[in-house]
Amino acid sequence: MTSNPFPVVDIHTHMYPPEYVKILENRSDIPLIRRFAGAKDPRYIILPAEAESLDKAGEDGAPLPGRPVTSHYSSLQQKIHFMDTHRIDISVISLANPWLDFVATSEAASTAVSVNEEFESMCASQPGRLYFFATLPLTAPQGELLSAIDFVKGLKHCRGVILGTSGLGKGLDDPELIPVFKALAKNGLTIFLHPHYGLPSEVWGPRATAEYGHVLPLALGFPLETTIAVARMYLAGVFDEVPDLRMLLAHSGGTLPFLAGRIESCIVHDGHLVREGKVGSGRRTVWQVLKEQIYLDAVIYSEVGLKAAIDASGVDRLMFGTDHPFFPPLTSDEQGEWESMTWNKTAVEKALGEGSEGTKAVMGGNAVKILRLSEDA
């Protein structure tokens, strides 16, 4: 452990276990990992826009698609080195997108067991330093999916599940997901909601892929995806139907803290909802759900966005994260300090005051309490 005056916990930090990497290396369609001649590291390709030019990659100086898969993606030793370098006491690791959404129905349950057992083994090898969010076999039959929830609940270091916005394929407002949400709530498993699908490529215009890199889909598409998913859940009444459901939203809730007021205005002024009796006096507002059933991470990189998250959800509901191994430094040694750590830490200190009780809570205290990180099981 580090010598911090208070615990520092990273709840948004990813790993790709070696067996999962092998699955991606054997694929020909996205998501996939592919090696290119002359490139030091293989490339991880997940965005549809990148797949369109996959066969031309590297020809005539064409840029390589995706991002390099360095040791930061799957090496446990590298993860611990990152933690030690940045004085992180505890990390709650999770598989990054696209999880198991692409796995065949017949293989989903067994693949999930393999991935989750590998995470459990990693955590067990680092007592007190690592916990994890499990991965669910969402393409499996419902019975196997519910059994998977029972299984991960029994894993000593599991503290929740990571979930993308497609759910079973129709979004998180799909009524068929209600039994899943109820099972997660019953077992006290927090959902870490993480984007992956973004918005359709054509939204970004014809120049985006060739000239703008990943900026538009990552900076704008991902946050909007999260906002839309949670708004759909709210409109479908999911939070009322499963009142014990708890969700941790990546990237400080996308644009939800900033747009919650606009969402509320649109709801109360919508003639259809009013006629359907869905805007009655007893309705819980978006603001109430944010403060009662939703947690936000602090991966927003500036105090301006972080203040909005604090105002929307409350300082006691925010938890620090780095989004490691994504956004590595490009002009300095990646074995050293990463801006993904320093920018987010500085944002917390500027918003709440260096050494303040609020900063201590966001940087680790909240996570220890909410995710039960001081418990042995």
pLDDT digits (tens, 9 = 90+) for 149-195: 999 999 999 999 999 999 999 999 999 999 999 999 999 999 999 99
Sheet hosting strand 32-34, strand order edge to edge: 32-34, 43-45, 67-68
Beta strands at 130-135 and 90-94: parallel, antiparallel or unpaired: parallel
For the chain, give every domain's residue range: 9-18+72-370
CATH class of 9-18+72-370: alpha beta
Instruction: Summarize the confidence of residues 206-227 as an average pLDDT.
Output: 91
pLDDT at site 376: 60
DSSP class of residue 49 equals H
Long-range contacts of 104-111 (CB under 8 A, 24+ apart): 104/139, 105/139, 105/140, 105/141, 108/137, 108/138, 108/139, 108/140, 108/144, 109/137, 109/140, 109/144, 109/145, 109/147, 109/148, 111/23, 111/137
**Residue written as token pair 């205290």:** 365
Over residues 104-112, mean pLDDT: 96
What does the alpha-carbon distance between residue 244 and residue 236 come to, in Å, rounded to a whole number?
16
How far is the C-alpha of 143 from the C-alpha of 109, rounded, in Å?
Answer: 10
Give tens-digit pLDDT for 81-100: 999 999 999 999 999 998 99
pLDDT digit string, tens, across residues 261-313? 999 999 999 999 999 999 988 899 999 999 999 999 999 999 999 999 999 99
Least confident interval from 76-90, 251-265, 326-340, 353-367: 326-340
Q: Could you give the CA distance from residue 13 to residue 221 in angstroms, rounded to a whole number?
A: 20
d(CA 308, CA 290): 12
Separation between Cα atoms, residue 91 and residue 13, nearest integer Å:
7
Q: Could you tell me the pTM of the whole model?
A: 0.94
Rounded to a whole number, what is the distance in angstroms from the first to the last CA of the chain?
A: 19
